[in-house]
Structure 1
């Protein structure tokens, strides 16, 4: 009998590595995505909490100033994993999503239950966009088209996602990189592409064909860590980040979409793990993201923020150091040694 032919990768072709087998990406020493039968078991478990149809943020939509120069660092929550980072005269967006649904369809799929914390028209000039992976709640092609037309930013993403973005957004200035690579931006800023424990897919036939990642933004005012979408993975990647980068002024860490644990633990950390990650990565301050805007999993809407507070208390960490940020909330992040 002939050997089974390997799946052709439609997004990326390159040599094997410790996280690419020549056809598909994987988490070294980690877990594979759950099977379709497990997905069905979860979807029909009857444990899904009921979220409200609308949950407005207590913060008004922000209207950020054009630039934050020097060592200043201002972070504004747009929603889910979309944040505006302003520092060193640059405006940076993480995983930008302004669409109403995170789905391949406009009429079905997770729906936004609060408006973006910054109206698209009120964005300052955007210089740089970081896209961590290709799941619909992180890679929103409609938003990228709008950003290209209005701001023409540089987009940095892991390997393979450039094929998807480039074909859908002609002329987008983009560059794709492997874990461990560094991109010089200018103004004393560089971006490091770093490991995350996750997976990728846009549909049923392209699972793990594009890489997933986190990012470290190195600036004159300190380092910022955007962990992307990640499972805790025994803290391996957090320890790696602390060892490589020494620590962070600020970290953006996911705290939501974690229930049920038997299904989600390998791809989404919970609030207790996020606090552990903050400690392991030696981060002075952190923002909790990936919660409260799109219902993806079973936990109640407010549980991530509540559990984050309890986890911080248990570790003796001031709650002000790790905020579960809400749309429209802006934070002038102190320097770690500020009195």
Structure 2
């Protein structure tokens, strides 16, 4: 049977341009193509990372210019073709609670993880939507279902949202969680305004780098700097803050980073200096090619291994790979590159795992 004729090049270019525009608030250095709003999300005193209008990282780099984005998208950098569907063989139905110092980690997909410990159920960057985009008809689309069906979630107590990019802050999912679970939502400064503009019922509270927030059951959350940026549209770049989270528990500290570049490693060495090392680090390993464009905002797997070493983590869990295609690398490349980087540093692969949606990693209380 003969193949159907390919669409005209002009149609393909229009399609690609539409996809680029819808992806801008996720990966583009110039902010998004859709004007989310120009008003500030936050007003407060000037600090060492806030100039009165926009936040910045004193140890970071600003996002790339729009011309750099066009060079990447249309300048010839090779982009691997992901499959339309890459379903996982796993599907998790979590228990209602995990008591004591054991930690149960369930990978939902991309940046979404459920952590259960000491009787609390905590979701990181929850996204159950089909696309990570400001529109429903274009932009990055997931290639596998969430590893936990939404209706199979246990009672969610706490949600931690690291920053405002659409693959991390999904207002539709937050509204669904609010309607069913009424969780407390902790997020960096300004991100609460984005959530409440969509749904005033969302129980969002915003905090700054360095803040410590009690969450009950002998636990607390700290907000820490990470090397990234944030935007929802064309006019709001860095008008809200981004952050890593440190979950303080009697059984040991967990260090969660939603997105980050490596830079010179300052933030990760500082995390070790401040907290003394971690029982577990949850680190992104995907969306890193081409390096000339992505290195300032997304680290690659070898850099993630270096972060594990720099921050003093005994174990690490990979995320931000294998669910939505944001950049050029092939779908399994992050996991393969992670295994190679671990072998090069003589680190056992079981200590830094890249699991598929629906898979579970349980850390026993005895090793806390």
- TM-score with structure 2 length normalisation? 0.88
Q: What secondary structure does 2:279 align onto? A: strand
Cα deviation, 1:35-94, whole Å, max 9, x if unaligned, reads 000011011133111000000113x21000000001010000000010000001000000
Contact 1:88 1:220 in 2 (8 A): no
List aligned pairs for 1:74-85, cutoff 5 A. 74-85=104-115
The match for 2:28 is none
Match of 1:49 among 60, 69, 80: 80
The match for 2:96 is 66
Contact 1:249 1:335 in 2 (8 A): no
The match for 2:306 is 276
Is the alpha carbon distance of 1:105 and 1:8 closer, same or farther for their aligned partners in structure 2, counting shifts above 3 Å? closer
Cα deviation, 1:153-210, whole Å, max 9, x if unaligned, reads 0000000001111121222212100100000011101000010110111011111101
Contact 1:9 1:24 in 2 (8 A): no
Cα deviation, 1:20-43, whole Å, max 9, x if unaligned, reads 111111111321000000011011
Tell me, in whole angstroms, the C-alpha distance in 2 between the residues paired with 1:234 and 1:197. Answer: 10
Q: Is it true that 1:307 corresponds to 2:360 in the alignment?
A: no
List aligned pairs for 1:1-339, cutoff 5 A. 9-46=39-76, 47-58=78-89, 60-334=90-364, 337=367
The match for 2:26 is none
Q: Any unmatched runs of 5+ in structure 1?
A: 1-6
Cα deviation, 1:112-163, whole Å, max 9, x if unaligned, reads 1000000000000000000000000000000000000010000000000011
Flag the structure with higher helix content. Answer: 2
Shift in Å at residue 310 of structure 1?
0.5
- TM-score with structure 1 length normalisation? 0.95
Q: What secondary structure does 1:252 align onto? A: strand
Shift in Å at residue 211 of structure 1?
0.4
Q: What secondary structure does 1:199 align onto? A: coil
Contact 2:113 2:124 in 1 (8 A): yes
Shift in Å at residue 9 of structure 1?
4.8
Q: Any unmatched runs of 5+ in structure 2?
A: 1-36
Is the alpha carbon distance of 1:14 and 1:336 closer, same or farther for their aligned partners in structure 2, counting shifts above 3 Å? farther
Tell me, in whole angstroms, the C-alpha distance in 2 between the residues paired with 1:114 and 1:171. Answer: 30
Contact 1:250 1:333 in 2 (8 A): no
Aligned residue pairs, count: 331
Structure 1 stretches of 4+ moved >2 Å: 334-338
The match for 2:17 is none
Cα deviation, 1:289-310, whole Å, max 9, x if unaligned, reads 0000000000011000000000
Is the alpha carbon distance of 1:80 and 1:108 closer, same or farther for their aligned partners in structure 2, counting shifts above 3 Å? same
